[in-house]
Structure 1
Amino acid sequence: MYKGVQEMDVVQRSKLSDRCFTAMNYFLLILFTILCIYPFYYVFIFSISDPAKVVSGVTWFPKGLTLYNYISIFKIEGIVRAFMNSTIRTVVGTLITLFCCSIFAYTVTKNQTYFRKFIYRFVILTMFFNPGLIPIYLTMKSYGLINSFWIYILPFAMSAYFVILLKTFIEQLPISLEEAALIDGAGYFTVFAKIIFPLSQPILATIAVFSAVNQWNSWFDNYLYVSNPKLQTLQYLLYQYLTESQRIADSIKNMNTQQMLDAANQMVLTPEGVRMTITMIAVIPIILVYPMMQRYFVKGIMMGAVKG
């Protein structure tokens, strides 16, 4: 009897400790989530606040709810064209990357491909060596890609990292499916288009997220290779305005108190408002795309890393 009471007491203590541990876990995870989300939330409410009323900053709610910052930013000359350039670059570049990398990865999985091991290892070797800025520039110039929209697309058509993920994923698919299709008279391209490609959706979605984020955020290639204003991307244009906003911020610091009060009584686009609004414009499209791919993301990464 006494032993049974002791066992019940141990079980109750164990349950209590488990509950305390679970509660502490929830508390820490919620705190961590708030710490991650609040900076983005702060930028968002700052961007939709009245520029004259957020001189002292914001906390949890916008001050003087308005879309003035966004309206003013999109009135900047060339901003809409740059937004379209970045959108087209992201969509077309991602599709071409998926097609080229998946075709190449499927090819090097076939024993019938001559020197497939050498080719695959050579691709992996490119991850360890960087030719440098000048050779890359001269190569792009020799191909006639300088001041061309294709400079945003073709250099990203192949990625060694994406090829590794795709090859590993394709190799773990049941070989019997492909053999059955070949027996029925299907060619390799038909097998790829109707069997391999549909079954590779998880890893393709994962690569699509990586590629789209990279294409959308890229601005350095615009800085190096493109001087035509009609081909400017959103990220590079926003980078230029962010740089200019710092100069405006420095001039505002030199204003006397009365001038700052006079400016605060008017609806003006401040440097801080420029930064916050530009940050939101650059981040929102990716945030909208990511949830659609999230259900494939973890599955694709895990399955693409099972075999080396």
Structure 2
Amino acid sequence: MISKQQRSFAERTFDILNYAFMAVFSFVCIYPFYYVFIYSISEPRLAQRGIYLWPGNFNIDAYIKIFSLNTIPHAFLISVEKTVIFTILCVYFSAMLSYLFTKRVMPFRSLMYRIVVASMYLNSGLIPWYITMKTYGLRNSFLLYVLPGIINAFYIILIKTYIEQLPSSLEESAQIDGAGFMTVFNRIIFPLSKPIVATVAVYASVGCWNMWIDNYLLVEKANLQTIQVILYSYLNEAQSLSQGLADMMRSGNAGRQLQLSPESIKMSITVISVLPILLVYPFLQKNFIKGIMLGAVKG
């Protein structure tokens, strides 16, 4: 039989190995983005020789010149605007439909819920989607970014499962006091669903921010271009973009040493496209984890 001292030593050993493994695993997950970041703020000549933990000769010329392009600031604002609006609409209307699906008095409730769930498994494809969006008049329209997708089957399942766990007495007491459907939803159900709402908000915002195919296929107006499509085109043309920015630097700063390269342009573009989501996620992480756990109880 193992003594208490031996058992404690085994536990301490396990803890040490566990912490070491998690530290290595965390480093493996974080380091790729960290490498991209330090490469983007390093002098290209030194970065090409190899950097590992620290940037080589701090340099942000790539960021300065990328944001000096006329298309970048406006496209960034368009992306932020569409992400915020879409997230708000998606969370609110998906939550409202989820609440409807919890009401047994709703006509054809089971049938409609099954149709929503079936949409997760059936996909018509790119061409029917393109024709549908064009038929609805969403081509070259900002509404293309916010209307399609505000009702999401996966979010409905999460929110519906969470709402079903709320005490029914809260809703019944409000109805006795004369509260209608919208009053109960807006003042009781929706506020109490904060954890799952935060979870859905993270999913919706990340998905909308990364979405680019709608802009790529259906938007031709320059004032509606998003940062994702513009950066995608810059990634594909990093060599010519680097040369063009270098020419701008020479014309504006005669005799200054070249501080740009295609690789530094690519790294800077990658950081710009990922950083906004990384800044938002920590604020919702607590509710995100709690919402996932509670929303998964009933499966």
TM-score, normalization: structure 1? 0.89
- Verify the 8 A CA contact 1:97 1:157 in the aligned structure 2: yes
How far apart, in 2, do the equivalents of 1:303 and 1:282 lie?
31
Q: Deviations over 1:157-189 (max 9, x none)?
A: 110000111111111100000000000111111
CA contact (8 A) 1:49 1:63 kept: yes
Match among 222, 226, 229 for residue 222 of structure 2: 229
Confirm or deny: 8 A CA contact 1:222 1:233 kept in the other structure. Answer: yes
Identify the match of residue 195 of structure 1 among 176, 188, 192. 188
Q: Name the SS for the 1:53 alignment partner.
A: helix
Q: Which digits, 9 at most, give the CA deviation of each residue in 1:254-305, with x for residues without a partner?
A: xxxxxxxxxxx92332111011111111111111100000000111011111
Decide which moves more: 170-179 or 17-26.
Answer: 17-26
Whole-Å Cα distance in 2 between the matches of residues 283 and 135 of structure 1? 30
Aligned to 1:276: 267
* Deviation (angstroms), 1:66: 2.2
Q: Alpha carbons of 1:119 and 1:102: their partners in 2 closer, same or farther (altered >3 Å)? A: same
| Superimposed CA distance per residue, residues 16-44 of structure 1 (whole angstroms, 9 cap, x where no aligned partner) | 11111111111111111111111111111
| Alpha carbons 1:52, 1:266 under 8 Å: kept | no
TM-score normalized with structure 2 length: 0.92
CA distance in 2, matches of 1:73, 1:129: 41
Q: Which residue of 1 aligns with 2:26?
A: 33
Consecutive aligned runs of 4 or more in structure 1 exceeding 4 Å deviation:
246-249
Q: Which runs of 5+ in 2 are unaligned?
A: 244-255
**Mapped partners of 1:171, 1:289: distance in 2:** 29
Distance 1:31 1:134 in 2: 45
1:300 alignment counterpart: 291
For 1:164, the equivalent position in structure 2 comes to: 157
Secondary structure of 2:44's match? coil
- The answer to whether the 8 A contact 2:215-2:226 is kept is yes
How many residues of Structure 1 are paired with residues of Structure 2 in the alignment? 287
Residue from 102, 123, 140 that aligns with 2:116: 123
Deviations 1:88-141 (A, max 9, x none): 011001001011101111111111211111111111111111111111111111
Q: What root-mean-square deviation, in Å, do the aligned CA atoms of Structure 1 and Structure 2 show? A: 1.6
CA distance in 2 between partners of 1:36 and 1:141 (Å): 41
Q: 2:247 maps to what in 1?
A: none
How far apart in 2 are the matches of 1:23 and 1:135? 55
Alignment of 1:202-221 (within 5 A): 202-221=195-214
2:45 alignment partner in structure 1: 52
Is residue 185 from structure 1 mapped to residue 178 from structure 2 by the alignment? yes
1:134 counterpart = 2:121: no
